[in-house]
Amino acid sequence: MSFDVIVVGEGIAGLATARDCARAGLRTGTVEQLMFGGLVTSINELVDWPAEGGDPCSGSDVATNWITEAADAGVESLGGCAIGLASAPGGLLLHTDAGSHEARCVVVASGASRRPLGIAGEEDYAERGLSHCADCDGPLVKGADVVVVGGGDSALQEAAVLAHYARTVHVVHRGSAFRARPSVRALFERAFEGRPDALQVHWQSTVSAIEGAGGVEAVIVDGPSGASRLPVRAVYPCVGLVPNSGWTGLATDAQGAIVTDDRLAASLSGVFAVGAVRAGHGGRLIDAVADGALAAKSVKEALQC
Ligand SMILES: Cc1cc2nc3c(=O)[nH]c(=O)nc-3n(C[C@H](O)[C@H](O)[C@H](O)COP(=O)(O)OP(=O)(O)OC[C@H]3O[C@@H](n4cnc5c(N)ncnc54)[C@H](O)[C@@H]3O)c2cc1C
């Protein structure tokens, strides 16, 4: 076998796992389809992450620290997009679009992707007013009206960023109370302090259509008193995540998250799952790092070293 363990995904869960496996003396490889860091690379101000000296820190800083620690520990970054996983004599075979690798164990850390709104023609507005990164394009909506769809952590985090740029931030939420954690709510409330008119919350409402010829010009909001047209320059969908588990063939729950036992072992022998791709993930970076530590321990036990 070439590798003791291969970790699929260089998000924070994958890098934490890989670092701890390599530090335990295991020959460890990682496979990443895009760029290291995963979901948090576009976040400028992290919440619930213990920054040094209490200063806010960015997702790309955290990702850079973890990739450096993994490399220093001896992790080999192989690259490629994982497309399949199978048992092989003495271990596992991981297929990627850049070739196949043999490993005694595989840790799936392929995370999750943003869930689309699920409305007709949505994809036509990508890069034309439909955005998943307020930190990246906030300056482009300076003085404009924008809409964030959702009521959880990422919706309020995006709205807080947009508060610095937009004239009005509309938050369209299908529920009648926000689901975000207290720390994220505090960030959100601070962002609109002294500017209450800059925030308009549409409770028990959904966005059913996006309108505009060259880009986003308006959304149709369905609420308790019927449908209304809301003129906006940009739409930020934050309606949850879809686990990137389809390529694995492993057992999942109804949401597509990989089912694991309390050692993070998945349904195929020698395979473990960590972070946002697994059912029961706590949702924060510190949960992803804790998963990494546990998975590394489980891999060591499985390999009896
Ligand atoms: C908008 C937003 C803001 C957030 N802000 C915070 C915050 O402030 N504080 C906090 O604690 N948490 C925050 N989180 C949660 C945090 O991002 C997640 O808990 C964490 O990123 C999960 O890490 P992960 O490694 O499991 O997955 P991901 O970050 O999704 O990483 C998975 C990696 O796997 C790669 N990959 C996927 N499929 C394949 C494949 N087939 N082959 C190879 N590679 C693949 C991806 O490219 C990606 O790099 C936020 C989440 C979102 C969406």
Report whether residue 13 contacts ligand 1, using a CB cutoff of 6 Å: yes
Ligand 1 centre and the CA of 229: distance in Å?
A: 34
Ligand 1 centroid to Cα of residue 183, in Å, is: 19
Ligand 1: distance of its center to the CA of 191 in Å?
24
CATH code: domain of residue 129? 3.50.50.60
Rg of the chain in Å (alpha carbons): 21
Q: Is the CB of 180 under 6 A from ligand 1?
A: no
Residue carrying the six token digits 């508060």: 163
Q: How many angstroms separate the alpha carbon of residue 215 from the centre of ligand 1?
A: 28
Closest CA to 238 of 176, 160, 124: 160
The parts of the chain modelled with pLDDT lower than 50 are none
Q: Are residues 98 and 175 in the same domain?
A: no
pLDDT of residue 304: 86
Tell whether 204 and 249 lie within a shared domain: no
Residues 40 and 129 in one domain: no
* Closest C-alpha among 97, 118, 109 to residue 38: 109
Q: Which atom of ligand 1 is nearest to the CA of 114?
A: 53
Of 222, 237, 252, the last residue of a domain is 237
C-alpha span between 53 and 55 (Å, rounded):
6
Atom 37, ligand 1: residue with shortest CA distance: 110
Same domain for 125 and 39: no
Atom 22 (ligand 1) nearest CA: 276
Q: pTM (2 decimals)?
A: 0.96
Q: How far is the CA of 231 from the centre of ligand 1 (A)?
A: 32
Domain that holds residue 289: 3-113+241-303
Maximum CA pair distance of the chain?
65
207, 222, 237 - which closes a domain: 237
Best residue among 39, 238, 245, 281 to mutate for probing ligand 1's pocket (most ligand atoms within 8 Å of CB) is: 39
For residues 26 and 49, membership in a common domain is answered with: yes
| Shared domain check, 281 and 261 | yes
152 neighbors 179 (Cβ within 8 angstroms)? yes
Sole residue written with tokens 């924008």: 146
One domain for residues 153 and 227: yes
